[in-house]
Structure 1
Amino acid sequence: MTMTRRVLLGAGLTLPLLTRTARAARTPGTLTFGLSSYPPSLLPWNNTGTAAVTVKFLIFRGLTSYDAKGTLRGELAESWARDGEAGWLFKLRDATFHNGAKVTADDVKWTLEQVAAEKSTAFLRTEFQGVERIETPDAKTVRIVMKQPNVMLPEWLASPHMPIIAKGSTEGGAPPVGAGPFVLKAQERGVSLDLVAFDKYFKPGLPKLKAIRIVAYADENLRVAALQAGDVDIIEYVPWQSMQAIEADPKLKLQTVDGPFMALSFNGAQGPFKDKRLRQAVAYAIKRDEIVNAAFFGRGTPLEGLPIASSSPFYNPATAHHWTYDPARAKALMAEAGVAGGFSTTLLSTAQYGMHKSTAEVVQQNLAAIGIQVTLNLPDWATRVNLGNRGQYEICVQGTTADNNDFDGTATLLDGELPPNNARSVGIRTPEIHALYAKGRAEFDLAKRRVIYAELEQLALDQCPMVGLAWRAQGYAMARDVQGFTNLPGALNFYSGLTLEDTHFG
């Protein structure tokens, strides 16, 4: 079966009609997860995509995380509280790393120092450079003192890119040692990973499964067919064209939430989009309802402002529909920028995910209508991530989400003063936006934070470091007897792998 599947993948074939009347036999206590791509890497502090996040949540745990309702909860930290003007005090649980060593305050201190180090490539390096000092009064107590008061620290520590690693375990290129519910036992690069339950996991009775087998199905039709046939028990990134059939299948069930979205990023360091007027022109040229229909089969809504969910306390209805379709305005902006006759550009996306490819094609068509001729670059996902990280594009389709459900979670998308990352435009300096994010983090009063972010929002809509396109209904599909898995709400959707510790068959 493995060789057959690999041949199919290598040939780029799809099997949309592959089904069996009976589900395949399972290994008792083992769940098979159909992942949308093989993780480019499992480096604990780097952002290498959602597929990697799901696997990292099996292997690692941080100080905090989220429950099934999206509420912040303790993980390796059993409690935390403000301690002074700029400090936070964390009390650690009795927990064990996969190498048998106890999780201590020294491990936490070492981890944070690695993330903030000068040559660190960590996703949250800039944020944790805001740490003034870390104190370890005893093995179970960590005091983190920030350079400025910071309301967001517990949320940052919940990021999948901020797990606590056993001190010194990465020396000499050794794999990082975590304290998650599962241990990685084997992997076939590009194909599969096998994990077994960690018998010293710090939560009594968890994980509920004995093992999880991760199998990469880059072809979305093959991924759905594998679920229908019983070769896998759960899949992520359910293609929108398959959702109706899955809902109608009595052997299966579908969980969807809004939160992830499609957007455009730009290269502001060179090329035409150094000029914000051309970024604005693109924003007004897109028929967002066409993206909802073409990429998501109607299962989504246009995103005409910043990616702030209507359920958020920071949602502003006055700016939610800022980028309405207005080709006349787009052409006027192009004329102001001196390119009334149009110009040519390139757009980076990927053909590995249908939503990315379809979004790129709609954008290409819409921009052609105002005189911008777009050449598509549609590599595989790993190449797309690498090109995005290096800023090798002029326009780039994003399929992403905010880091969390706080307004500050959009900083990774909009703050051009942060280090380069594939989820953010390259070369667009935003010092005023950066300063307002810092001001918002230092404020603990919700009403005052709303005022700060309202000003930030106006700046972001003017500068266009990211142009929203469409909210999408993001789905996981699974066998009917899979219990305990939860599709987390809003911006936390990509963190749903957290709930695999609770998942079981019933």
Structure 2
Amino acid sequence: MRYARRRQLVSALLLAPLLSGCFAADDNSSPSGSGADTRLRVAFAFPPAENFSPYGSDATLLSRLGVAEGLTRLDGNGAASPALAESWRQENEHTWLFTLREARFQDGTELTPAAAATALTHAAQADPAPAALSGVKLTAEPAGKRQVRVTTADPDPALPLRLSSPSLAVLSAKAYQKKGTVDPASAATGPFALAKAGGGNRATLNRFDDYWGGRARASGIDARFIADGTARTNALRTGEVDIAEAVPVAQTSSLDKGTARELATTRTTSLLLNTRSGPFKDPKVRAAARAAVDTSVLAKDVYEGHADRGQGVFGPALTWAAGKRVAPEGRARAARVHGTAITLATYDNRPELPEVAQVLQQQLKKAGFAVKVEVRESSRIEGDALAGKFDAFVGARNTMLDTGDPVSVLASDFTCDGSYNLALLCDKRVDRAVAEAESADEPAKRQDATMAAEAEVLRTDATIPLVHQRIVHGVRASVHGVLLDPYERTLIGPGTRR
């Protein structure tokens, strides 16, 4: 009886598939085909770092470009909704059965249960594992003509949410090559097929005419990857591109009227402190850093009002979080700091971050720290940050990007075995609180446990939430159907056109 009641609650309230799409576009255009031979020119902030491998940060690029899809996607309420799976049901605590829709891969082969199972198996065996599978042991196998059975070693009430992750996209057999490499070119199911990439700063995509969701309005995409925010905005302003993602806040006033598309996101900019080595190994020194930071200056001056002051790991775009937030208890008392030398690192793909680092440098200096700032391009600095080569790191993290399940973010970013633990935190109380949240399967209890775990993370001062961001995309007036997604997983869809 207990399991049956739990399954009913999970299915009805948390993970029930909805018949709506993912997110509304910026107009009401239909995704049906058009005879116009028009290509979209798009400037992205982050270049592919891993040759478009679907298992790392490049997975989101494949999703934003309309290349790759998973079994599920997130709808506007953060629930799992149909994508390549048109429906699903939970068979028992460990097993879910997904029914596939009729679809084809871009190489002409059919989406079959065997193909879907193979794709999920490759993801589960990838090294390093995709963030969406952090701490999760998953197996998949065909189950009849149209169904695939997915089994987890431990009960996973958030599995349909997890399978919406861009890093769990379903690709055809040709994508999986020797030595574990994966090539998504013409091997995915989305409305656009990746044709070629040029030196990491350009990519060419062509329309996939047999897309299950209807023929795309644009004939293709010419993507450019421009890390410099001013250069990216200038490319839009001069007509070189039709869409520029993540326009710097300092540049928004220079855009033509009606060109800016602003929306709240679940992205939080944080100061992450190295808890494993260096000065911030001491909780009292971390507390001193927290006491030194004035987040109101960052929200007002650096982000020019296009952000809200940091309240926690999760911000106001996660609408239920504010009413359930728990005050951290047992924080260390701040030590007095006299000339303690630290290295503060960040990346420049998001142009506000170097300015944030400069403001923090002044605030921390005033508190007694001697601060050296290091700025690089994201793909050239993230590995060093994960290896603990800096004392502090300023990063902007979409807290719902990997799975759509906030508990998974806490697990990957702040537990001992977390795969994206930039603070290198390993705290028994945090791990215990996150584990309790992971085991909660009733929606309200899961939310309560999530915020209790957030409070334990904040107690350690391993992370200092700075601001919760809004994002501004630059879109030329002639362009319609851009997907405005608070989770930042999508941007170009079948209905996007000019």
Aligned counterparts of 1:100 and 1:459: Cα–Cα separation in 2: 50
2:165 is aligned, of 159, 164, 169, to 159
Kindly report which structure 2 residues correspond to 1:198-237, keeping only aligned pairs within 5 A, or say none.
Answer: 198-203=208-213, 205-237=214-246
Aligned counterparts of 1:429 and 1:77: Cα–Cα separation in 2: 37
Listed as ranges, the gaps of 5+ residues in structure 2 are 1-35
Aligned counterparts of 1:174 and 1:414: Cα–Cα separation in 2: 25
Q: Which moved more, 1:120-129 or 1:81-90?
A: 120-129
SS of residue paired to 1:124:
helix
Q: Could you tell me which amino acid in structure 1 is paired with residue 410 of structure 2?
A: A
The residue aligned with 2:61 is 54
2:110 is aligned, of 102, 108, 111, to 102
Aligned counterparts of 1:359 and 1:453: Cα–Cα separation in 2: 28
Aligned counterparts of 2:67 and 2:126: Cα–Cα separation in 1: 26
Aligned counterparts of 1:420 and 1:150: Cα–Cα separation in 2: 18
Q: Could you tell me which amino acid in structure 1 is paired with residue 357 of structure 2?
A: A
1:444 is aligned, of 434, 441, 444, to 441
SS of residue paired to 1:65:
strand
Checking the alignment, whether the CA contact within 8 Å between 1:312 and 1:406 is kept in structure 2 is no
Checking the alignment, whether the CA contact within 8 Å between 1:413 and 1:466 is kept in structure 2 is no
- 1:476, distance to aligned residue in structure 2 (A): 0.9
Cα distance, 1:222–1:118 mapped onto 2, change above 3 Å: closer
Cα distance, 1:464–1:140 mapped onto 2, change above 3 Å: farther
Alignment RMSD (CA, Å): 2.6
Kindly report which structure 2 residues correspond to 1:54-73, keeping only aligned pairs within 5 A, or say none.
Answer: 54-57=61-64, 58-67=66-75, 71-73=79-81
The residue aligned with 2:497 is 504
The residue aligned with 1:288 is 295
Q: Give the alignment's TM-score, normalised by structure 1.
A: 0.83
Checking the alignment, whether the CA contact within 8 Å between 2:412 and 2:418 is kept in structure 1 is no
Q: Give the alignment's TM-score, normalised by structure 2.
A: 0.84
Checking the alignment, whether the CA contact within 8 Å between 2:264 and 2:317 is kept in structure 1 is no
| CA deviation vs aligned residue, 1:375-399 (integer Å, no higher than 9, x gap) | 0111122212332343321101011
- 1:480, distance to aligned residue in structure 2 (A): 1.3
Aligned counterparts of 2:280 and 2:324: Cα–Cα separation in 1: 28
Q: Could you tell me which amino acid in structure 2 is paired with residue 143 of structure 1?
A: R
Listed as ranges, the gaps of 5+ residues in structure 1 are 1-26, 324-328
Cα distance, 1:128–1:202 mapped onto 2, change above 3 Å: farther
Aligned counterparts of 1:119 and 1:184: Cα–Cα separation in 2: 24
Checking the alignment, whether the CA contact within 8 Å between 1:305 and 1:319 is kept in structure 2 is no
Aligned counterparts of 2:126 and 2:166: Cα–Cα separation in 1: 21
Aligned counterparts of 1:462 and 1:73: Cα–Cα separation in 2: 35
Cα distance, 1:470–1:178 mapped onto 2, change above 3 Å: same
- 1:70, distance to aligned residue in structure 2 (A): 5.1
Kindly report which structure 2 residues correspond to 1:96-495, keeping only aligned pairs within 5 A, or say none.
Answer: 96-117=104-125, 119-129=127-137, 131=138, 133-167=139-173, 169-172=175-178, 173=181, 175-176=183-184, 177-203=187-213, 205-246=214-255, 249-250=256-257, 252-309=259-316, 311-316=318-323, 319=326, 333-335=334-336, 340-404=337-401, 406-411=405-410, 414-421=413-420, 424-489=421-486, 492=487, 494-495=488-489
Cα distance, 1:470–1:174 mapped onto 2, change above 3 Å: closer
Q: Which moved more, 1:298-307 or 1:40-49?
A: 40-49
Aligned counterparts of 2:39 and 2:77: Cα–Cα separation in 1: 26
| CA deviation vs aligned residue, 1:123-178 (integer Å, no higher than 9, x gap) | 3343432x3x4342224211222233222111111111111122363222462332
Q: Could you tell me which amino acid in structure 2 is paired with residue 313 of structure 1?
A: W
| CA deviation vs aligned residue, 1:199-234 (integer Å, no higher than 9, x gap) | 22121x232211011012222122112111211111
Aligned counterparts of 1:214 and 1:317: Cα–Cα separation in 2: 41
- 1:344, distance to aligned residue in structure 2 (A): 0.4
Q: Percent same amino acid at aligned positions?
A: 22
- 1:346, distance to aligned residue in structure 2 (A): 0.2
Cα distance, 1:406–1:175 mapped onto 2, change above 3 Å: closer
Give the number of aligned pairs: 455
The residue aligned with 1:90 is 98
